[in-house]
Amino acid sequence: MAQPCGKFPSVDTLEQLVERDRDHDCEGLGPHHICVRVEAVAQLPSQFGRFHIVAFWNNRDGKEHVAMVHGDVMGSEDVPTRLHSECLTGDVMGSLRCDCRDQLEVAMRKIGAMGRGLVLYMRQEGRGIGLINKVRAYSLQDQGLDTVDANIALGFRDDERDYEVAAHMLASLNVSSIYLMTNNPRKIQELEKLGRNVSGRIPHVIPATEWNRHYLETKARRSGHQIELESTPPLSEQNDPVIIEGQS
Ligand SMILES: [Zn+2]
Ligand SMILES: [Zn+2]
C-alpha cells in the first residue's frame, strides 16, 4: 500500500502547506492511486468556532475537497476527526430525508469547543452517486423502495475513493493519529487499511426525526451501523457510503 506520509517535510503553519505541496505528486493511495495537494489555506471563523479552511486538489475527479481545521493538528496525536460527505439537499437545503446537516453542525460545534479537531468535507454527493442519481433514488423511495434497494436498483455500490482522499488529506496535514467521530466501524477499518492510525471512536449521536426514522432503521438493519433502535435513541449516519452485503 502506498504511503504518502514520510515524504512530507514538516512545516510550522498551515499556510506553509501550500508551498510545501506545490510540486507534490506521489504514487497515491489505494487502487485508484489518489493523490491530493493543499492548494489554499485561509481563516474561516464560523458560528461553530474558529477554523481554518484548507482546500485540496486531487488527481482524479476534479473535486475540491476541504479540511476544516480547529486548533493545532499538525504533528498531533488523537485528533478528533469527522468525515462528512457532501449532501446538498441536507447540508444546504435542510432536507429532512436525512440528517446530514445536523450531523455536520453537531460535529463542527463539538470540535469547535475542543482544543483541536478536524472536519474533512468530502465532495461525494449522495455517497458518490451524484446529485441527479440521489434524487432518482429518492424518487424510487417515494414509490416504496428502501434506501439500499433504491441504490441497488440504480446499479450503484460503495465508492472507495472517499476514504483514499480522506486518508491522503490526513497525511498531508501531518496528523499522527485520530479519534474518529462515527457510528460506522467500517470507516475505521477503511482508514486503517490505507495506513492511517485510528486511536479510537467517538460515537456521533443524533436523534431521529419522524421523517428519517425509516431510513435509519434500514441502515441499521442492512448496512451494519452501530445503531440500537430498540433500547436507545437511534443514531444515524446518512452520509456514509452504502454498504451492500456480498459486494465488499
Ligand atoms: Zn500524494
Ligand atoms: Zn444527506
pTM for this predicted structure: 0.80
C-alpha of residue 105 to centroid of ligand 2, in Å: 12
Q: Are 163 and 190 in contact (CB under 8 A)?
A: yes
Highest-confidence segment of 134-148, 168-182, 204-218: 168-182
Kindly report the backbone phi and psi dihedral angles of residue 40, in degrees, each rounded to the nearest multiple of 5, phi listed first.
-160, 150
- What residues form the annotated binding site? 82-87, 98, 100, 103, 125-127, 147, 182, 187
C-alpha of residue 240 to centroid of ligand 2, in Å: 9
Instruction: Map grid coordinates 423511495 to a residue.
Output: 141
Rounded to whole angstroms, the Cα distance separating 205 from 152 reads 27
Q: In what order do the strands lie in the sheet with 79-85?
A: 36-46, 49-58, 65-70, 117-122, 79-85, 178-181, 198-202
Mean pLDDT for all residues in the chain: 82
Q: Are 40 and 67 in contact (CB under 8 A)?
A: no
- pLDDT confidence bin for 223, thresholds 50/70/90: low
> What's the CATH superfamily of 16-124+159-206?
GTP cyclohydrolase II (3.40.50.10990)
Quick count: other Cβ atoms within 10 Å of Cβ 92? Answer: 11
97 or 3, which is more confident? Answer: 97
> What is the reported pLDDT for 155?
60
Q: Let me know how long the chain is.
A: 248
Does residue 158 have a pLDDT over 60? no
CA pseudo-torsion sign 213, 215, 218, 224: negative
SS3 of residue 3 by DSSP: coil
33 or 1, which is more confident? Answer: 33
- pLDDT confidence bin for 124, thresholds 50/70/90: confident
Does residue 229 have a pLDDT over 50? no
Does residue 5 have a pLDDT over 80? no
- pLDDT confidence bin for 146, thresholds 50/70/90: confident
- What residues form the annotated binding site for GTP? 82-86, 103, 125-127, 147, 182, 187
Structural element, H or E, at residue 215: helix 213-222
Structural element, H or E, at residue 102: helix 100-113
> CA angle 219-220-222, nearest 5°?
60
Q: What are the sequence ranges of the domains in the chain?
A: 16-124+159-206
> What is the reported pLDDT for 140?
86
- pLDDT confidence bin for 120, thresholds 50/70/90: very high
SS3 of residue 110 by DSSP: helix
Least confident among 14-28, 36-50, 154-168, 210-224: 210-224
**Which residues are designated catalytic?**
159, 161
- pLDDT confidence bin for 98, thresholds 50/70/90: confident
Q: What residues are neighbours of ligand 2 (ion), with CB under 5 Å?
A: 87, 90, 98, 100, 238
Q: Which amino acid is at 53?
A: I
Does residue 211 have a pLDDT over 70? no
C-alpha of residue 21 to centroid of ligand 1, in Å: 9
Partners of residue 44 on adjacent β-strands: 51
Ligand closest to the CA atom of residue 4: 1
Radius of gyration of the chain (CA): 18
Partners of residue 42 on adjacent β-strands: 53
C-alpha of residue 105 to centroid of ligand 1, in Å: 30
Mean pLDDT on 150-161: 62
